[in-house]
């Protein structure tokens, strides 16, 4: 008590130069209330969907049904030969798509885990959608390896369980590591996503009017009642999952890259692969998050929660990881040159000057050059530019995998294998189908589940701090607050 009065007196007397402190940028604009946040996010689930949702949902679900449903039916009933797997390069397409989708899935866990551990509070507005995207991307990815084994009904041979032939899975093989890494990643991401959603499902349950709705959200929200004794365990669980997912997210794409790096194939056998793949995955994942969140933000009027500050931060991450990827591309060339390995050098010459050089330069332009526009603030603030760059990155990252896999496999050790690669119609159909499936699942997610983490967004409000009202009573006059730059705010007020 005595101490408190002393500090109060000293703070009142404080004179002289003030400590300049940069203001924190606002993560929620227009001083929205708790109730407004609840209404707006639950409204996405509760109100009838806008016409644009139907305009996207109907074609996407048709593409998914024809591409994935019909494509897989055709594949299984006819045989995996419809993919044109007649030589080594021909199984490249499913692997390209597998690596592409797994890569997309990386941003979700990065946002939820790594940005959580580093206390980046801006993650709260985007983590739910990014995690959902992770789950759906891994679902799409899983189709390709499961079906490219040829006889999909034998896919259970991948699991480490005894089989009648008394042969065990080869635990020394990166392909089996992949099975473990991807399935663990999917499971942990699902747990993370679901646990994070429980309090928000309870919010929807408490607002539900229909009986079925109340029952379903009631079951999935597990009887959550916002109890602080629960929050205490819950926050610990969230922290533990974040700590577990952080190395996991880095491991998954490292393991995927081991599939290539542990082989003795020129162009693949390189130590730079794990970090190069991980940076590329985060790069591609963030681009996909922006690609789907910018339209969602616009359609559902979530601009006060997903602000230009969020877009700006993500654009900066894309710039950073894009530059790391660019460095990796150049370093790969340098190692081929400096390593004095004849075949390695030939492999890279083939990439740059061979018949696939159009793919190589598409990759370079999309992944290395296009994100460089984000050095300019004007470009990060223009949503059209951001969307254009993200689309380039989505395309570029697919071509990165195409370059790595197809150009290498089509010029392997045996000249008898050399052939220019064309995907079959079924190949293309299935890939387009997975894009449709991904978007369909995401649209259903927007329709049925809270697309922004309501509880965590509320937590980022200033008055959520239990000492907020004390701060108003004891104003710190020793600091001078410098207003932060924020696109949508002028003198602390929203521009409207």
Partner 1 sequence: MSTTVKRVYGYLAEFESASKLYKAAEKVRDAGFQKWDCHSSYPIHGLDDAMGIKRSVLPYFVFFGGLTGFLTAISLAYITQVEIYPTVVQGKPANIFTIPAFFPIMFELTVLFSGFTVLFGLLGLMQLPRLNHPLFASKQFARATDDGFFISIEARDPKFSAEGTKALLNEIGGANIELVEDEN
Compute the least distance from the CB of residue 202 to partner 1, in Å: 5
Note whether 78 binds partner 1 by CB under 8 A: no
Nearer to partner 1, 20 or 162 (CB): 162
Say if CB 370 and CB 344 are below 8 A apart: no
Q: What angle do CA 363, 376, 381 make, to 5 degrees?
A: 100
Q: Rounded to an integer, what distance in angstroms lies between the CA atom of residue 105 and that of residue 131?
A: 8
Asked if 118 touches partner 1 (CB under 8 A), the answer is no
Contact pick of 32, 74, 88, 207 for partner 1 (by CB under 8 A): 207
| Residue 127 is a binding residue for partner 1 (CB under 8 A) | no
Residue 361 touching partner 1 (CB under 8 A)? no
Q: Is 373 in the site for partner 1 (CB under 8 A)?
A: no
- Residues linked to residue 19 through DSSP beta bridges, in sequence order: 479
Q: Which of 73, 168, 422, 485 binds partner 1 (CB under 8 A)?
A: 168
Q: Which two tokens stand for residue 227?
A: 């109890």
Whether 387 contacts 287, CB under 8 Å: no
Sequence length of the chain is: 496
Regarding 465 and contact with partner 1 (CB under 8 A), the answer is yes
Could you list the beta-strand ranges (E) of 120-195. none
Check binding of 59 to partner 1 (CB under 8 A).
no
Smallest distance from partner 1 to CB 143, Å: 21
Residue 15's region, left for phi above 0, alpha for psi from -120 to 50, else beta, is beta
Does residue 470 interact with partner 1 by CB under 8 A? Answer: yes
Q: Which residues pair with 115 in a beta bridge?
A: none
Q: Where does residue 463 fall: left (phi above 0), alpha (psi -120 to 50 degrees), or beta otherwise? A: alpha
Token duo for residue 72: 């897989």
Q: Are 290 and 386 in contact (CB under 8 A)?
A: yes
Q: Work out which of 91, 98, 224, 402 binds partner 1, going by CB under 8 A.
A: 224
When binding is defined by CB under 8 A, the residue of 147, 258, 276, 399 that contacts partner 1 is 258
The tally of CA atoms less than 13 A away on the side-chain side of residue 105 is 33
Site membership for partner 1, residue 464 (CB under 8 A): yes
Give yes or no for residue 223 binding partner 1 (CB under 8 A).
yes
- Which tokens is 303 given? 């601009």
Residue 7 near partner 1 by CB under 8 A: no
53 lines the binding site for partner 1 (CB under 8 A):
no
Task: Note whether 139 binds partner 1 by CB under 8 A.
Answer: no
Answer for which of 199, 280, 371, 433 binds partner 1 (CB under 8 A) is 199
Using an 8 Å Cβ cutoff, are 353 and 424 in contact? no
How far apart are CB 294 and partner 1 at their closest, in Å? Answer: 26
34 makes contact with partner 1 (CB under 8 A):
yes
Please state, as a whole number, how many other Cβ atoms lie within 10 Å of the Cβ of residue 316. Answer: 15
By the rule CB under 8 A, 203 interacts with partner 1: yes
* Residues making contact with partner 1 (CB under 8 A): 33-35, 38, 160, 166-168, 170-174, 176-177, 180-181, 184, 187-188, 191, 195, 199, 202-203, 205-207, 218-219, 222-237, 240-241, 244-245, 247-248, 251, 255, 258, 454-456, 458-459, 463-470
């Amino acid at each position: 008590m005595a101490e408190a009065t002393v500090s109060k007196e000293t703070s009142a007397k404080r004179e002289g130069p003030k400590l300049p402190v940069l203001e924190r940028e606002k993560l929620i604009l227009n001083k929205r209330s708790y109730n407004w946040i609840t209404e707006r996010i639950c409204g996405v689930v509760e109100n009838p969907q806008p016409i644009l949702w139907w305009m996207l949902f109907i074609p996407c679900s048709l593409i998914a049904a024809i591409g994935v449903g019909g494509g897989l039916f055709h594949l299984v009933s006819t045989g995996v030969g419809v993919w044109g797997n007649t030589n080594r390069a021909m199984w490249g397409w499913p692997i390209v798509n597998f690596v592409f989708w797994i890569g997309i899935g990386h941003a979700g866990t990065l946002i939820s885990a790594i940005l959580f551990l580093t206390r980046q509070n801006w993650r709260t507005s985007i983590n739910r959608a990014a995690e959902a995207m992770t789950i759906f991307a891994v679902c799409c990815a899983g189709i390709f390896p499961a079906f490219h084994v040829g006889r999909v009904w034998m896919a259970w041979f991948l699991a480490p369980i005894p089989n009648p032939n008394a042969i065990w899975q080869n635990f020394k093989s990166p392909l089996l590591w992949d099975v473990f890494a991807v399935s663990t990643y999917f499971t942990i991401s699902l747990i993370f996503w679901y646990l994070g959603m429980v309090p928000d499902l309870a919010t929807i349950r408490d607002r539900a009017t229909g009986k079925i709705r109340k029952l379903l959200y009631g079951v999935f929200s597990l009887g959550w009642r916002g109890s602080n004794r629960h929050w205490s365990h819950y926050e610990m669980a969230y922290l533990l999952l974040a700590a577990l997912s952080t190395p996991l997210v880095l491991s998954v794409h490292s393991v995927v890259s081991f599939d290539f790096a542990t082989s003795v194939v020129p162009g693949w056998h390189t130590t730079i692969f794990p970090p190069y793949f991980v940076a590329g995955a985060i790069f591609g994942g963030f681009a996909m998050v922006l690609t789907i969140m910018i339209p969602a933000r616009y359609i559902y009027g979530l601009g006060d929660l997903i602000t230009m500050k969020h877009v700006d931060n993500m654009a900066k991450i894309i710039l950073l990881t894009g530059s790391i990827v660019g460095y990796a591309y150049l370093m790969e060339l340098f190692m081929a040159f400096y390593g004095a390995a004849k075949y390695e050098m030939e492999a890279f010459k083939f990439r740059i000057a061979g018949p696939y050089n159009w793919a190589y330069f598409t990759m370079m332009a999309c992944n290395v050059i296009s994100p460089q526009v984000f050095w300019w603030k004007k470009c990060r603030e223009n949503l059209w530019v951001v969307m254009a760059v993200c689309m380039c990155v989505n395309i570029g990252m697919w071509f990165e995998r195409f370059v790595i896999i197809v150009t290498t496999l089509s010029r392997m050790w045996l000249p008898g294998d050399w052939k220019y690669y064309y995907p079959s119609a079924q190949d293309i159909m299935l890939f387009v189908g997975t894009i449709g499936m991904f978007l369909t699942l995401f649209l259903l997610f927007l329709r049925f589940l809270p697309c922004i983490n309501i509880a965590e967004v509320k937590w980022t409000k200033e008055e959520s701090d239990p000492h907020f009202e004390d701060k108003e009573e004891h104003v710190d006059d020793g600091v001078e607050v410098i207003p932060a730059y924020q696109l949508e705010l002028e003198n602390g007020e929203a521009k409207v």
